[in-house]
Amino acid sequence: MEPAHFEAAISGDVNKFPFCAIEREDLSEIFNKVNPLGDSLLHLTSSYGNEEMTRLIARNFPFLITKQNYVGNTALHLAVEAQKLNTVRALIDFSKQIPNTSTSTDTLLTMKNAEGNTALHEALFAILVASKKNVDTSVEMACCLVLNDPNVTCHQNNAGKSPLYMAVEPEMLRTIKEKKEDLLLLQDEEGNTPLHFAALKGYKKGVRYLLEIKSNWAFERNTNGFYPLHLACENGHVKVIKELFRKWTNPAALLCNNGQSILHVVAKSGKDNVVRCILSKKGTDMLVNKMDKNGNTPSHLAALHGHSMVVITLMCDKRSKMNLVNYKDITTYDILKSNILKVWDLQIDVNDRNLKAAGNVEENSAEVPVLKSSEKLKQFEMMMTYSMLYICYEFFRSLWQIRHHGHHSPTKMSHIKIKPPSPKQDINNTINYLFVVAALLVGAAFAGAVQVPFEGGKGPNDASNAPAPISVTDY
């Protein structure tokens, strides 16, 4: 790009070349050129707020409207960053006249830069850094972008944040409320309100503030049927959960699309501390043994996803009936037993390969994969939980049945089906299972498989823990 052209674009003087001749001559070669940052002349004039020149270039060279520089910014990105509302509006107006000749569904407003930010992301960043003098302009830009394409609110950047998610940032929430409250009434394409995002982030003050603005948001579901309370529970935000409990004291009525309560959601995500929090609240009696549309109780889902500590917490609650079966006639204990046998089979396979390798037998898979600390902890917890359930629900019950010389057929409590105790002939098998568990524990301890149960400061309920293998389908 010629320095003279660069200077003319910055000054906005349309009487200077090449702008004065743009409608008389073919100047494609000039307008195709970019500066060292990859900015075209349209990028430059838009970022300096030269509306007349922006419209002149966009009208004659519309391909420049969606042209991106070397970091992915369009002219609209730069105009938003520079808080030039006039050129933002001009670019949006001309972008609507561009025919879409590609298979991409991206529009100017949904195009992302190298950081995954749309122009709306940049507008919200501008609100955060804007001075009191310029904050009105920044908010007005955000409104302009949203009104021209409401769906842009749900596009996530590389950090996984959508503009609606950003709107509940502490510094931004009050500014938007004061300047343009309508922005807080938006929902993304999945039906999430700002309260959903505040609950998801664990932003207690934001939750309280949003409930003051519109209290009914606490009872609005997104397209997955999740209330804000579900999202707070799933992500382990106890303070937000307590805040939402103040608004709604009957959580048993809050069910998502598959009939799962907040306790189902927490058990599935493995947040043991949140399980204890919910169990301590009034009005949660109906949640402990409640079944979803597949007949799964919270303890079923915890076992399905390998969250043994949650199983133990639920088992220790006096209201819990751990021998309930789901619609596939499977108990929580059955799930854990199946997973233990899988671990045992894997352990045998690994040992067999080690023996072969030690005997100089060529084996393609001689290298044994090393388990992460979190996975070792998962297996350890699962084996311990299985042992406890075995003692409670097979060993002692079987002895009781032998002592009383008889067995009972499956019983039902209203619509709830309960699996009967194991018959006498199964005692030897269950004792063998227990010996298997004991052998695994001893072997793991001596082999160093079970190490310090915390790695990098993370506890057993850390979200990074990989789920253990499951043997039945979680719907």
**DSSP conformation letters of 211-269:** HHH-GGGGG---TT---HHHHHHHTT-HHHHHHHHHH-S-GGG---TTS--HHHHHHHH
- Locus of tokens 């664990």: 202
CA–CA gap between residue 138 and residue 102 (Å, rounded): 32
Nearest CA to 275 among 246, 297, 248, 247?
Answer: 297
What per-residue string of b and e applies to 371-408 under the rule 16 or more CB within 10 Å gives b? eebbbbbbbbbbbebbbbbbeebbbebbeebeeeeeee
Q: State residue 379's pLDDT score.
A: 64
pLDDT in tens for each of the 475 residues of the chain? 678 888 888 888 888 888 888 888 888 888 999 998 999 999 999 999 999 999 999 999 999 999 999 999 999 999 999 999 999 999 999 998 876 655 455 789 999 999 999 999 998 888 877 666 777 888 888 888 888 887 788 788 998 888 877 777 666 666 676 666 666 667 777 888 888 888 988 888 888 888 887 778 788 889 888 999 999 999 999 999 988 888 776 777 788 888 999 999 999 999 889 999 999 887 788 899 999 999 999 999 998 887 878 888 888 888 988 889 999 888 888 887 777 666 555 544 544 444 444 444 343 333 434 455 556 666 666 666 666 666 555 555 554 454 444 444 444 434 455 555 554 445 455 545 555 555 544 444 444 444 433 333 444 344 333 334 443 444 4
Q: State residue 96's pLDDT score.
A: 87
Q: State residue 119's pLDDT score.
A: 94
CA–CA gap between residue 277 and residue 194 (Å, rounded): 24
Q: Is 356 exposed, middle or buried (0-12, 13-18, 19+ CB in 10 A)?
A: middle
Q: State residue 451's pLDDT score.
A: 40
Residues in CB range of 26: below 8 A, 6 or more apart: none
Alpha carbon dihedral 134, 135, 140, 146, in 10-degree steps, equals: 130
Other CB atoms within 10 Å distance of the CB of residue 142: 27
- Angle of the 373-390 helix axis to the 308-316 helix axis, nearest 10: 30
Model pTM score: 0.57
